[in-house]
Structure 1
Amino acid sequence: MCSKKMLIVKSLENLSKINWKKFRLALVERPGDRRVPLSKVEDKDIFEITDALVSTFTADTALAVTCELLESIDCFNEANELNDQIAEMFPKSSTSKTTAVAATAAGTADGTTHSKEEHFVDKHRGELTKRVREVYFILDFLRDKNVITSEIHQEISNMPGNFPSRMEKIYALAVMSDITAKDIFFESLKKFVPGLVVELEHSVVAPKWLRPIKSFDKAQKLDDEIAKPNSSAGKTTASAAAAGPAGTATHSKEKHFVDKHMPELIQRVSSIKPILDVLRSKDVIQRETYEEIFKTPENQDKMRKIYMLALKSGKAANDIFYECLKKYESHLVADLELSEQKSNHDIMLS
């Protein structure tokens, strides 16, 4: 009969080169009290990594951890095959039991086992990857909860590309490590994009005013439109200023959205670089101001400088800034507008 260690070896030996790299990375980044150090993974072969798994987690738990890691890198066939072999050869180490042990070893927050129902962050991965823009807040949250290291945080923060590419990286390097990481990621989503979570949980279609951008493709088209020199999206003529941004009342006597919600925007806006790029391209700020704000270390301080140095020039600048917020911080804008609607409704009822 095949030993437990050999069963792990056999489940890993047929992985492709790229999946083998993913498996090793997932193992190193796996959160929990028991961690496999990089020194036991880097440049090691299958047998050495199997030894590291068993010595770190014990043989029974190592089987479950291997299944978990295979699933985290989307090797579901290999994970299912290993689960079946565990159930057949070691009935006392059934999948449910080893998964529970693995969850305990990983430090599951509530100390309970989880059902086999597909996790929210897995079920809605496509939509979350495409629509979440509050990436930097989520990264901070994951780092503070020890789901990712400071190095991983910095790598994702500084990587080139758009928000979906960063979200994919979060999934690859953090979220897929185990059920605990998924739970913490879900907490961050409820904290920073509550409107999107409610929409996905209840399969409801948000009102039109809550959906400034339907998809990343549309957002990219808007980005391209804003970048055009003579774009109507970026014009700051007197007529545009008088009209104000769609869906927001900006009459002369009413406080502008960006002024009304200044404290929340300073604290919660994370997509500052693309906003700065648009403000610079529309001549709302000059190059020196752009560089000064860009070099400011903290996001909140960057936002304060945007208010002090850019948005004091008048309503046209506020309108452009608001359009940027609708594009890059759509869920934050929706959350603030929804809070405003509720507040107005409560006042009417009182």
Structure 2
Amino acid sequence: MDLIYVDHAATSPIHPEVVQEMMPYFTEYFGNPSSIHQFGRKTRQLLDEARRTAAKSIGAAPNQIMFTSGGTEADNAAIFGVAYANKERGNHIITTQIEHHAVLHACEELERQGFEVTYLPVDEKGRISLQDVKDALREDTVLVTIMYGNNEVGTVQDIPAIGELLEDHQAYFHTDAVQAYGVLPLNVDELKVDLLSISGHKINGPKGTGFLYIREGVAIAPSSFGGEQERKRRAGTENVAGIAGLAKAISIMMEQGAEKAAAYLAYKEAMLAILTQEDINFQVNGDPEYGLPHILNVSFPGVKTEVMLVNLDLAGIAASSGSACTAGSVEPSHVLTAMFGKAERTKNSIRFSFGLNNTIEQIEKTAYETAKIVKRLQK
């Protein structure tokens, strides 16, 4: 059986050229970048080049890039870093109900420490209201953290409009751009964000890599203590091989990103056309106008998510619910719950997400197999 992987929003395969780029830094170029001898200088040069590559990909300066172990650490570093460094200015934070748990759980921890957090609601398409952001702003708001594109339903928020709204306010603006990076063009000045999080393994780079963009002048507390790495904001010897791989993945992304995004959108359209043609009962979750090209979240009335996932897996198709699966049961997605309340759609939705190595033939097969399974289960 040929297996089909359509869960790229969870993680993506490493590009072969990325693996090739990393190998010398495990063996030949193993020096500590903080060492002044030639072994250290070689890896320091790699870090400097990688930082320039990362910065270029979002229209930033190299000294505004802090390498991290991925999106979760980048989100945490932004949220805790701003909160702790700006206590004297206020203790209020604004976020949304549909953030990744790296943001939500960080905000919940800050609440336990005495901070106040406003969780903005979303409409049935997963979009927040700009008016709600305005109404939630207070004099003591120090951080607004709103994701760019949702990892479960793909809905994209109007980040530039929110950034413009915050221009005359003291609050720093952070966006989790993990899912948007690589499929949408990002420029931090156009977005008017102060902090932006990225993860390597979502763009065919290695797991355990990522970065946080920090605008010059943003007051942020260190995320770890020790050496003077990452401008004293993240102590610890750098993951040189991982960063080499991340930089290569970013370079490939900048060359091929637009072409790939167009292909993923075509995959989504093809899959929807086949599901419609097969005359099954389904609903699309998310915003068809403001959505990520590689994510398709579909509700199949009368079919339980966990049953659907097992049947897809038996057919050789790896998809996802987009939410935590434990002990054989799928908890209702907090994203879908925020969008639809207790409606049945929170318990019968599947996320298909496209990426490297997918072909139109695979997507068509996925659509036909999905339709076949749904027809059987809906009976």
TM-score by length of 2: 0.23
Higher share in strand: 2
Higher relative contact order, structure no. (Cα contacts within 8 Å, ≥ 6 residues apart)? 2
| Structure number with bigger Rg | 1
TM-score by length of 1: 0.25
Higher share in helix: 1
